[in-house]
Amino acid sequence: MKISHFLETVITQIRSREAKEYVKTELSQHIQKSKQSWLERGYSELQAEEKAVREMGSPLTLGKSLNKLHKPKIDWLLVSLLSVTLLLSFLPIIALNLEQYLETANLNMTTMLQNKVISIIIGFLLAIVIMFIDYRKLKRMGYLFYAAGAGLIYVLTVFSNKVVNGELMISFGIFDVQVWMAIPLFLLAWASLLSTSSFKLWQGAILFLFSVFLFGLVPNLSMLFIYIAIVGVLFLLSNFTRKEKLLVSGSVIGLAIGIIILYVVAYKNGSIAPYQISRLLGFINPEEYATGSGYIYVTLENALKSAGLFGAENVKYIPEAHTTLVFGSLIQTYGYAIGMVIMMILLAFLVRFWLISRTVKESFGKLLIIGCATLFSTQLFYNVGMTFGMLPISSMPLPFMSYGLMPTVLNAFIVGVALSVYRRKHFSSKIIYGSTRYE
């Protein structure tokens, strides 16, 4: 039997289109290697080919075996976590169903529910669509994704027609183009570049510094913080040498110390704006500045103290209760019991990401999962930290729970990438060789 006929017979037993291509390539390479071995022993071209094919056994049996091995797999646990979390994301909006709160915050319950439904539908569909995309085909597109992320930020700086809390946006009616949309592009870019052996440290330094400069043009410290965390973690887990990692880490620590010293000197010289000092002091000593910059910290602390296991008797108004301080609002309204349930569910995502990453041998897929976990955990831990007064309050959302398109779509993207990697994690040549016993 000729090699081409053998391969076609094998792949007719395999249902997955992706698996067909993968198996055909892997089997062809191995048979050609075996054929070359027989040729070196003095056999003719035809004899070597026949012996190489015969070594593989029955093509029908092999095809059926590989079909079972490479059957597309869906991480139903992750899909279930996503579905449950999206349903629970209605709780923060329902918690606002107080006439006093809605009037104070100038919110419309019907509009919020409609927007939330739209966000959930978009997020869930996005996760499913990404799951069916073969992430491995994106590995060579690192520079393209970087250019797209940088280009998006540049477009925001040039064509912005809306400003919210100092952040530049491009508004198209009810849809806003914002800087957070560049985060997934940069995540894909860095996972690709840092998994490439030819990528040099000096190239990474230039690309990173330039991107940080661009983020500075569209003021959003939360997104900049997330971006730096992603790049930092991926770099430390990349294939760069230990010496290179120590060199970069030392430089970053030195730069951080220098920035702190600069701010201290600027504070003593009176160069820092009064409102910036006020915000810092409000975080450090909120009781002393309870009527000003410390008001939100004191209000949140009192709300959490009044919340029992199943919620406070008298729910107090919390600013940004449906967005930034959503976790505090949930605890005050429903109690610490619900707060712990939501926290455990969100932590379950991280555990699942970690378990998937352990089974992935291919560097690009592993870095993708780690980058997604970093993106998710940065939001989660910072939001919880500022809820309990351990970190300064910023616009950092709680994954899926915070109201808005970004907390839903950005984190649905994370889940979609994890599902895509999980679906193809068994595409390993070692598994194929082992299953056919021709190592």
Let me know: does 51 contact 38? Beta carbons within 8 Å: yes
Q: What is the pLDDT of residue 74?
A: 86
- Cβ neighbors of 369 (< 8 A, separation 6 or more) are 353, 356, 357, 360, 417, 418, 421
- pLDDT per residue rounded down to tens, the chain (439 residues): 677 888 888 788 777 777 777 777 778 888 888 878 888 888 888 888 788 878 887 878 887 777 777 677 889 999 999 999 999 999 998 887 654 566 655 667 788 888 899 999 999 999 999 999 989 889 999 999 999 999 999 999 988 888 877 778 888 876 788 889 999 999 999 999 999 989 999 999 999 999 999 998 887 888 999 999 999 999 999 989 999 999 988 988 888 888 778 767 766 666 666 666 777 777 888 888 777 888 888 889 888 988 888 888 888 888 888 889 999 999 999 999 999 999 999 999 999 999 999 988 889 999 999 999 999 999 999 999 999 989 988 889 999 999 988 899 999 999 999 999 998 876 654 434 333 333 3
Dihedral sign computed on CA atoms, order 14, 15, 19, 24: positive
Q: What is the pLDDT of residue 266?
A: 66
Total Cβ atoms within 10 A of residue 42: 8
Count, in order, helices (H) and strands (E) of the chain. 20, 3
DSSP states along 329-379: HHHHHH-HHHHHHHHHHHHHHHHHHHHHHHH--SHHHHHHHHHHHHHHHHH
What is the biggest distance separating any 2 CA atoms in the chain, rounded to whole angstroms?
92
Looking at residue 136, the DSSP 8-state letter turns out to be G
Let me know: does 150 contact 210? Beta carbons within 8 Å: yes
What span, in angstroms and rounded, lies between the C-alpha atoms of 174 and 25? 48
Looking at residue 71, the DSSP 8-state letter turns out to be -
* φ, ψ (nearest 5 deg) of residue 177: -90, 120
What are the domain boundaries of the chain? 3-71, 76-424
What span, in angstroms and rounded, lies between the C-alpha atoms of 46 and 2? 9
Q: What is the pLDDT of residue 38?
A: 81
H-state helical runs in 238-325: 242-269, 274-284, 295-306
